[in-house]
Structure 1
Amino acid sequence: MLKTLAAQVKEFKKDSILTPVFMILEVLFETMIPLLMASIIDKGVETGDINHIYKVGAMMGVLALCGLWAGVMGGKYGSRASTGFARNLRKAMYDNIQDFSFSNIDKYSTAGLITRLTTDVTNLQNAYQMLLRMFTRAPASLTCAMIMAFTIHAELASIYLIAVIALGGCLILIMSRAVKYFQKVFQKYDDLNASVQENITGIRVVKAYVREEYENQKFFKAAENVYKMFVKAENIIVANMPLMMFTVYACILGLSWLGAKMIVVDDLTTGELMSLLTYCMNIMMSLMMLSMIFVMVTMSFASAQRVTEVLNEKSDLQNPENPVMEVKDGSIVFNHVDFAYKKSSTEPVLKDIHVEIHSGETIGIIGGTGSAKSSLVNLISRLYDVTSGQVKVGGVDVRDYDMEVLRNQVSVVLQKNVLFSGTILENLRWGDKNATEEECMRACRLACADEFIERMPEKYETYIEQGGSNVSGGQKQRLCIARALLKKPKILILDDSTSAVDTATDAKIRRAFAEEIPNTTKLIIAQRISSVKDADRILVMDNGHIDGFGTHEELLENNAIYREVYESQNQGGGDFDQAANMGGEN
């Protein structure tokens, strides 16, 4: 874990080294001041030597200024190192998340990843700055003060040693009890973020169903859980301060009583006693700093584990050593494919799928919810790897391709259409960042998106809000289809991507595909028979296996499921799922 985190210091190594150097210098300058103060009292005040007071006072001023300069420089470099460390952590995590396969993404909740990128990294940033500054300063200050105290009077300085050992033991006990609560509290943060994210994403549904009060209660419960965990931890840590103050005042009282008796018998000077009292405060403040460091490190340890988990997560999908860099055509072969989302699963999602699709064919895919239609097409662009068997594109196993090359030739319009904040043109150019405006307009004509874009005041410069909240579901689908067409793919997959458009527009889109991109292999997942009946062939899925594969006419004659759905929809009897009664999720 430490090695993983330390690798993110990178270009801030110099700042990370200079910070403790300046902190040690600050301690050395400050440690000299009590000695000079003792000299002023013993050799200046008591003897009436005003020159000595001026001379030593000037030296104290210089040391104080030097200490101030060292402290400022330590703060400057420490801030730069810690903020740079946090920046690198976030960038490394974000970059790694971009490389995750779908199966890697499935391991983490969205809220959990957001918490790791924000709260957890902030905790590590604060802890790193404290380690560079306070964790250097506190032990150095304690050590120097202890050495100077023993130099002045070993017997009296033994009081410090006893206090440090006793207080250190108490702090270890307090921290060990608090750590278990800090480890749990960040899991509660995930729940809190999840509540906020879910509410904001679905705010229209919340308002439509008048569920504001329920959502308020759910958020309050998540916030209350975070509060309770912190209170439990703080109730333990709160004992730190009174324990510390008790020790400080006990040391001061002990020193004052014993020191006064020693002054009477000339075994100690007044200046030396003042110096010992100053070193007493230095030692106790150093212990206070160390206790704060232990609290911060305890809190950040749980964050460090969570951040390291994401940094060390390796994508399940890797490029081969010598990847194929060209997709010859859009032919697809499923060669006795089995697939399960988890390796430990006993029941595969797809079972013995064996299908050959020719380049340029239009293939309809139909089946009940949960029949694994989406799982099937996700294997083509290698969003997941097969459990057994082979998926070939252009005659080559998809695992032999460079993944970027393969995915550039397979355009997928997923069930959940996602648009990003930006103009319509900016969203379209996700398909091809170098696409001209004319090419974007042509893709929109093919997807029947031009008709509503032209009615907008700013047309293609219209700003799309986050998530596409200012366009309808059908408009969003057509923009996503246009975006996919701009990739000029050899394979185009529409995963139930015209469900929100009317049947006339659906027919126009399919006709445009047939006329304008005849050489592109098109796979159309749909619930409506009308969306797939004109396809070259239709695949009927049922519970993870192929129930039928043929033309519309062949399936009407030979496939009971397809015939039942066709008759149901022609008689106005509802959608595929109602007719086939296949339950589950796609």
Structure 2
Amino acid sequence: MIEMVKYLKPYRGKLVLVVFFSLVAILFELYLPTLMAEIVDIGIVQQDIPFILQTGGLMLLCALMAISLMVTVSYFASKVSLGFGRDMRKRLFVHIEHFSLEEYEKFGSASLITRTTNDVKVVQDVVNMMQRLMTRAPLMLIGGVFLAISRDASLSLVFLGALPILAIVIVFIARKAIPLFSALQKKTDRLTLLLREGLTGVRVVRAFNQVEFEKTRFNEANEDFRDTGIKVGKLMATLFPIMLIIMNFTNIAIIWFGAMRIDQGDMQVGNLLAFIQYAAMILMSLIMLSMAFIMIPRAQVSAKRLNEVLLTAPMIKDPESEEQGTFQEGVIEFQNVTFRYEGAEKPVLRALSFTAKPGETTAIIGSTGSGKSTLLQLIPRFYDVESGSILIDGVNIKQLKQSTLRKKIGYVPQKATLFSGTIAENMRYGNEQASEEEILTSLETAQALEFVLKRDSGIHSQLEQAGSNLSGGQKQRLSIARSLVRKPLIYLFDDSFSALDYQTDRKLRDALKKETSQATILVVAQRVSTVKDAEKIIVLNDGEIVGIGTHDELVESNPVYQEIVASQQSGEVGA
């Protein structure tokens, strides 16, 4: 939790005001019992009505001032805590955006969502509480103890019996609460994960009649979360009654021994009443502190989870000084590239070497799991190579800033990803300055113009989240159009034609040749028909290049490619 304090630096001014106004408000509150004692010992004893009215009016003024100041404290505390929450969410989001795919896989999207929302809210609430309680309670405790001792030092010894009991209760509950809070946050992650899976995979769930299974999975996680929450709730619920019992027994002891001192003539009634008020303030401040100490463990768990994200440095970093290059051609060169995923026993790709030139299409084909998509993801540095190097126009991509590199690339992922908003907004994701004419041209090339114009608002038609109101083929064509709007030097198509029928596939590839004649194109595909016209076909098998050539050359000489061609031809005949 201490690590979070540095993020409050922008709010130092408001924090100073919170402490100052809290101090002044508490001074007014601490003055009230003294005034009450004077009314009893002077006004009532001497039957001095003007004195009672004057002192009563002063008490009313002090109470109003204290209330006004505490409202002001609450206002500034809320400003600080909400501002802190906003800044923390922004800081987390920006930091996560710089993660490589390995960091995303390490945490998981469900956990990152929970940390950015639920954990930030927990810490934000504790920041708010600490401003209002952790400044008020210590000041009230110190002031109450000082004034109680000044009233009657002997009677103050009653607190010596109450304070150790309070301390034991707080320590006991805190030790029990910390592991439960940690478990609660992990179970929140699990709930978010199952909810996200159930919502995003609703079609698959229904197609396989697994609605009841998903309900059972979610209910089990939900009940597990509930049970842990109840344990925490019970533990927290015991605190306040115990505090009240201790507080009431302390008051009984004060009244008992105070009455004895009044009877002996060592104390006045007004002083006893004031002492009882100060005792209530002391015990109330201890209750507030105990509540704060109970909430802090949960915030510590959340703060630790936030720090885990913030202290995770992205594995892929920009170089301190960027190597300058012309980048007018887009020649891609793999030099003995090897790559393995973190924790994997063997590399996914081994000793790959080839060159992809502008003006020609380089196709990559191979069996499932041969490393085709991984190869493509190395070029925009979604992952970094283990050994070897990847050059673009003779410059190692590690010597380029990621933004510089990716501006030159139009990437179409295997799974078409669209965002909620209009079709035009999705197209401008590739180029913010793109005109409507450029968007329409790109849509026409991607064979998407016809179905787009059939919509009521054309390119201004709304898309639902993830493009759920489109078919798979339509989403793929829009993704291809988005990359065309960018007009990059390099196009990376990661099995981006798989949802298209053969006729549309053919039309699209013919249109792409005209539109991208000067660019470097790398295509990952499963279908031979998609790659057969490529100037260069790279055949991958178990992460290694086992053949490079044209379709005709590979059909004649490469057994792996021959097997792929034969399997697809037999499949088509069977169909």
Match of 1:193 in 2: 192
Match of 1:578 in 2: none
After superposition, give the CA deviation of every residue in 1:198-257 in whole Å (9 maximum; x if it has no partner): 111112222233322222221111111211222223333333223212211111111111
Give how far 1:574 is off.
8.7
Match of 1:568 in 2: 567
TM-score (norm 1): 0.95
In 2, Cα distance between the equivalents of 1:142 and 1:8? 28
Task: Please give the secondary structure, in 2, of the residue aligned with 1:266.
Answer: coil
In 1, Cα distance between the equivalents of 2:512 and 2:572? 29
Match of 1:496 in 2: 495
Matches within 5 A, 1:22-33: 22-33=21-32
Contact 2:115 2:302 (C-alpha < 8 Å) held by counterparts: yes
Matches within 5 A, 1:452-467: 452-467=451-466
Give how far 1:395 is off.
1.3
Match of 1:332 in 2: 332
Task: Please give the secondary structure, in 2, of the residue aligned with 1:324.
Answer: coil
In 1, Cα distance between the equivalents of 2:82 and 2:422? 33
Match of 2:421 in 1: 422
Of 238-247 and 249-258, deviating more is: 238-247
After superposition, give the CA deviation of every residue in 1:298-325 in whole Å (9 maximum; x if it has no partner): 1111100111122222221111122135
Contact 1:548 1:555 (C-alpha < 8 Å) held by counterparts: yes
Contact 2:173 2:294 (C-alpha < 8 Å) held by counterparts: no
Give how far 1:478 is off.
0.2
Q: Does 1:51 align with 2:34?
A: no
Give how far 1:8 is off.
2.6
Of 252-261 and 230-239, deviating more is: 230-239
Q: Does 1:88 align with 2:117?
A: no
In 2, Cα distance between the equivalents of 1:206 and 1:220? 16
After superposition, give the CA deviation of every residue in 1:548-586 in whole Å (9 maximum; x if it has no partner): 1111111111111111121222233599xxxxxxxxxxx
Match of 2:61 in 1: 62
Of 401-410 and 34-43, deviating more is: 401-410
Give how far 1:13 is off.
2.0
**Amino acid aligned to 2:158:** I
TM-score (norm 2): 0.97
Distance 1:400 1:355, change over 3 A: same
Matches within 5 A, 1:178-217: 178-217=177-216
Matches within 5 A, 1:250-289: 250-289=249-288
In 1, Cα distance between the equivalents of 2:51 and 2:167? 40
Contact 1:363 1:522 (C-alpha < 8 Å) held by counterparts: yes
Query: Quick one: percent identity of the two aligned structures?
Result: 38
Match of 1:582 in 2: none
Contact 2:356 2:522 (C-alpha < 8 Å) held by counterparts: no
Task: Please give the secondary structure, in 2, of the residue aligned with 1:351.
Answer: strand
In 2, Cα distance between the equivalents of 1:198 and 1:30? 54
Match of 1:363 in 2: 362
Contact 1:330 1:360 (C-alpha < 8 Å) held by counterparts: no
In 2, Cα distance between the equivalents of 1:552 and 1:154? 100
**Amino acid aligned to 2:482:** R
In 1, Cα distance between the equivalents of 2:455 and 2:516? 28
Matches within 5 A, 1:377-456: 377-456=376-455
In 1, Cα distance between the equivalents of 2:153 and 2:174? 31
Of 283-292 and 119-128, deviating more is: 283-292
**Amino acid aligned to 1:117:** T
After superposition, give the CA deviation of every residue in 1:247-306 in whole Å (9 maximum; x if it has no partner): 111111111111111111211111111111111211111111111101211111110011
In 2, Cα distance between the equivalents of 1:57 and 1:365? 89
Unaligned runs of 5+ in 2: none
Contact 2:337 2:350 (C-alpha < 8 Å) held by counterparts: yes
Contact 1:417 1:477 (C-alpha < 8 Å) held by counterparts: yes
Contact 2:170 2:294 (C-alpha < 8 Å) held by counterparts: no
Task: Please give the secondary structure, in 2, of the residue aligned with 1:420.
Answer: coil
In 1, Cα distance between the equivalents of 2:521 and 2:559? 25
**Amino acid aligned to 1:282:** M
Of 168-177 and 34-43, deviating more is: 168-177
Matches within 5 A, 1:432-581: 432-572=431-571
Match of 2:296 in 1: 297
In 2, Cα distance between the equivalents of 1:567 and 1:244? 80
In 2, Cα distance between the equivalents of 1:151 and 1:538? 92
Match of 2:77 in 1: 78
In 1, Cα distance between the equivalents of 2:136 and 2:573? 74
In 1, Cα distance between the equivalents of 2:200 and 2:185? 22
Match of 1:248 in 2: 247
Contact 1:468 1:476 (C-alpha < 8 Å) held by counterparts: yes
**Amino acid aligned to 1:37:** M
Unaligned runs of 5+ in 1: 576-586
In 1, Cα distance between the equivalents of 2:366 and 2:344? 23
In 2, Cα distance between the equivalents of 1:247 and 1:37? 25
Task: Please give the secondary structure, in 1, of the residue aligned with 2:369.
Answer: coil
Residue-pair matches, total? 574
Match of 1:579 in 2: none
Match of 1:146 in 2: 145
Task: Please give the secondary structure, in 2, of the residue aligned with 1:149.
Answer: helix
Give how far 1:10 is off.
4.4
After superposition, give the CA deviation of every residue in 1:161-182 in whole Å (9 maximum; x if it has no partner): 3312321232112211211111
Contact 1:100 1:315 (C-alpha < 8 Å) held by counterparts: yes
Give how far 1:122 is off.
0.7
Contact 1:362 1:535 (C-alpha < 8 Å) held by counterparts: yes
**Amino acid aligned to 2:122:** N
Distance 1:115 1:542, change over 3 A: same
Distance 1:574 1:290, change over 3 A: farther
Contact 2:359 2:520 (C-alpha < 8 Å) held by counterparts: yes
**Amino acid aligned to 2:334:** F
In 1, Cα distance between the equivalents of 2:260 and 2:7? 57
In 1, Cα distance between the equivalents of 2:305 and 2:462? 37
In 2, Cα distance between the equivalents of 1:117 and 1:564? 49
Of 57-66 and 35-44, deviating more is: 57-66
Task: Please give the secondary structure, in 2, of the residue aligned with 1:527.
Answer: coil
**Amino acid aligned to 2:527:** R
After superposition, give the CA deviation of every residue in 1:432-488 in whole Å (9 maximum; x if it has no partner): 000000000111111111121122221111110011000100000000000011111
CA RMSD of aligned residues (A): 1.6
In 2, Cα distance between the equivalents of 1:10 and 1:16? 9
In 2, Cα distance between the equivalents of 1:227 and 1:294? 23
Distance 1:561 1:574, change over 3 A: farther
Q: Does 1:218 align with 2:214?
A: no
Contact 1:327 1:406 (C-alpha < 8 Å) held by counterparts: no
In 2, Cα distance between the equivalents of 1:380 and 1:136? 54
Give how far 1:544 is off.
0.8
In 2, Cα distance between the equivalents of 1:35 and 1:430? 69
**Amino acid aligned to 1:102:** L
In 1, Cα distance between the equivalents of 2:345 and 2:207? 41
After superposition, give the CA deviation of every residue in 1:320-376 in whole Å (9 maximum; x if it has no partner): 12213542322111111110121x544111111111222222011111111110111
**Amino acid aligned to 1:353:** L
Contact 2:547 2:558 (C-alpha < 8 Å) held by counterparts: yes
Distance 1:20 1:574, change over 3 A: farther
Task: Please give the secondary structure, in 1, of the residue aligned with 2:346.
Answer: coil
Task: Please give the secondary structure, in 1, of the residue aligned with 2:537.
Answer: strand
Of 348-357 and 87-96, deviating more is: 348-357
Matches within 5 A, 1:334-353: 334-342=334-342, 344-353=343-352
Give how far 1:421 is off.
0.5
**Amino acid aligned to 2:185:** F
Give how far 1:9 is off.
2.4
In 2, Cα distance between the equivalents of 1:348 and 1:418? 28
**Amino acid aligned to 1:530:** S
After superposition, give the CA deviation of every residue in 1:109-137 in whole Å (9 maximum; x if it has no partner): 11111111111111111100111110111
Match of 1:584 in 2: none
